[in-house]
Structure 1
C-alpha cells in the first residue's frame, strides 16, 4: 500500500514549475504501479505465514537491502536525521498502516481492501491547509470526491456484508493519511534515501519486538517472497518521497487512486478476481479524477 515542495496551490506556476509538478505526478503513478505487486505477494503469504511475520519481512529486507546504498551516498549522516522525532513518527504511522492493510487483505480481495483505504485523501485534503499550509480549491475537492466515488463503485457490492477486514482497511487508510502528511512535512529536511532508510529501521525495530511470538519457519520460496516485499516497498516509497518534493499534497492526492487500477490488475492475474462492468466504471472515475486535476494544473498554472 502507499504521496506529496512546489508553490502553494494558490500561486501561479512558471513553465519549469509545471514541468516539476508533472514529474512528481509521474513518480506517483509509477509508485502506484509497483506497490500493488508487493501487496499481492503479501496477500499470497497470508495463507501460510502470520501477518506480523510478513510485516517484519517487508521492513527488515527494506532496511537491509537499502542500507549499503544509503551508507555509500551519505556516510555517517545516515543515522543523524535532522528531524528524528518526525522520522520516527512517520515510520510508526506507516508500520501501523501496513499491519492493518495486510490484516485486511488476508480476508478481502485486494481491490476491495484498497478501495476502503482510499478514505485517506479526504483526511489529507482536509488537514493539509492546517498542517501544511496548502491552499485547497473547489476543483481539487471535486477531483477527490469524484475519485472516491469511483472507489466506492469498485467495491460494490462488497459493502453488502461488512467484514472485519473492512474495518482493518478503514484503520489502514486513516493512519496512512497521517503518514502522508508527515512525509510532506519532512520534504527537504533529510536526503530522500535517509528518510527511506529510517522508515525501514523504525518498522524493523518495532516489529522485531513482537516477532518471537509469531515466527514460523518459511520455505525458501516464501523467504524469497519476503525479500521481494521489502525491495518493492522500498522502491515504491522512494518514488513517493521524491514526488513530495515536486508537488503539494492536494495536487498529488488524486493520482494515488491509480493504485486501485494496478491493484485490480494484480488481483485478476494472481487471484482470479475478474473485475465486473461496474468495477470498470469505478476505475474510469478514479482515473478521470486524476487526469482532470493534472490537466488543470498544467493549463491553469495551479490556480485553485
Structure 2
C-alpha cells in the first residue's frame, strides 16, 4: 500500500535531515585531526551499518540477501563512498561551509551529464543555471587568491561523485526499497574500507570510539529522515530544501570551530544555492506539467 502524499510533512522531514547531517561532518572533522581519513570513513560506514541493523530487524527486511541489480547497487555505493572520502579529505583542512558549498556543484554536474546518462533534454534554462552556479564555484574557490587551498579541490571531486550517485539513484528508484538501498550502500562502503583500513589503523581511545559511534548515528538518522521525507513528497519537490544543510553547516561551524564565511564566500555560496534551487524548482514544474 502506497504512503499517502503529505508534502508539508515531507518538507519538514527533509529539513530535519539536512540539519542533522552537518553534525556528522563535525564529528568527521574532529576525528580527522587525530586519526587517518581512511579510518574515519571506515568508522562512518561501520557504525552506520550497526545503527541500521535494529531498524531493518524491526521492519523484518532480509538485508543479507543478494540484491537485484547488484552491479548497479555496487556502483552507486562506490560513488557515495568516493564522495564521502573526498569530502572528509576536504574538511580536514578547510571550513565545513566552504567545502559543502563546493559539494553543491552536484546539480550542475547532473545538468551537464543527464542527457548522456538519464537521456534527459538539456535546455537553455538549465544550462544557464549551471553556468551561473559555475561562477559561484569560482568565487568560493578563489583560485587566484594567495591563500588558495588545493585541498578544497577534494570538495569539487566529492560533488562530482555525489552527482553520479544521484543519477544512479534516480535510475534505480523503482528497483529496491529506499531503506534496503541505504543498507546496500552501507555494506559497499564498509567492505571497501575494511580492505584498506588495516594499513593505516590507529587504535582509537574511548573518546574516539564515542565520536565514531555518534558520527554513525548522525549518518543513519539523517539519511533515515531523508528517506521518510521522500515517502511523503516527491523528490523533485524536496530538492530545493537540500540547501537547508548550508544553514546547519554554518551554525555548527560557528558553535564548534568559531568560523563564519566572509562576505565574498557568502556571495559564492548564495550564487551556488540560487542556481541549484532554480534548477530544482524548474525540474519540479517540468515534471508536474508532464504528469498532467
Instruction: State the TM-score bracket (shorter-chain normalisation).
Output: 0.7 to 0.9
Residue 96 of structure 1 deviates from its aligned partner by 1.4
User: Alpha carbons of 1:123 and 1:34: their partners in 2 closer, same or farther (altered >3 Å)?
Assistant: same
Given the alignment, which residue of 196, 203, 213 partners 1:217?
203
Q: Deviations over 1:24-65 (max 9, x none)?
A: 655544333221111111001111111111111100000011
Segment of structure 1 superposing worse, 152-161 or 59-68: 152-161
Q: Deviations over 1:252-301 (max 9, x none)?
A: 65543333332222211111112323344444445545665677678888
Residue 163 of structure 1 deviates from its aligned partner by 2.9
Segment of structure 1 superposing worse, 282-291 or 48-57: 282-291
Segment of structure 1 superposing worse, 32-41 or 256-265: 256-265
Is 1:230 the counterpart of 2:216? The answer is yes
Pairs aligned (count):
286
User: Alpha carbons of 1:53 and 1:40: their partners in 2 closer, same or farther (altered >3 Å)?
Assistant: same
Take 2:35 and 2:239, find their aligned partners in 1: how far apart are those partners?
A: 33
TM norm structure 2: 0.82
Residue number in structure 2 paired with 1:126? 112
- Two-structure CA RMSD over aligned residues (Å): 3.3
Is 1:115 the counterpart of 2:101? The answer is yes
Structure 1 gap segments, 5+ residues each: 1-15
User: Alpha carbons of 1:176 and 1:295: their partners in 2 closer, same or farther (altered >3 Å)?
Assistant: closer
User: Alpha carbons of 1:287 and 1:103: their partners in 2 closer, same or farther (altered >3 Å)?
Assistant: closer
Residue number in structure 1 paired with 2:186? 200
Take 1:147 and 1:298, find their aligned partners in 2: how far apart are those partners?
A: 19
Residue number in structure 1 paired with 2:171? 185
Segment of structure 1 superposing worse, 272-281 or 91-100: 272-281
Structure 2 gap segments, 5+ residues each: none
User: Alpha carbons of 1:123 and 1:290: their partners in 2 closer, same or farther (altered >3 Å)?
Assistant: closer
Take 2:286 and 2:170, find their aligned partners in 1: how far apart are those partners?
A: 24
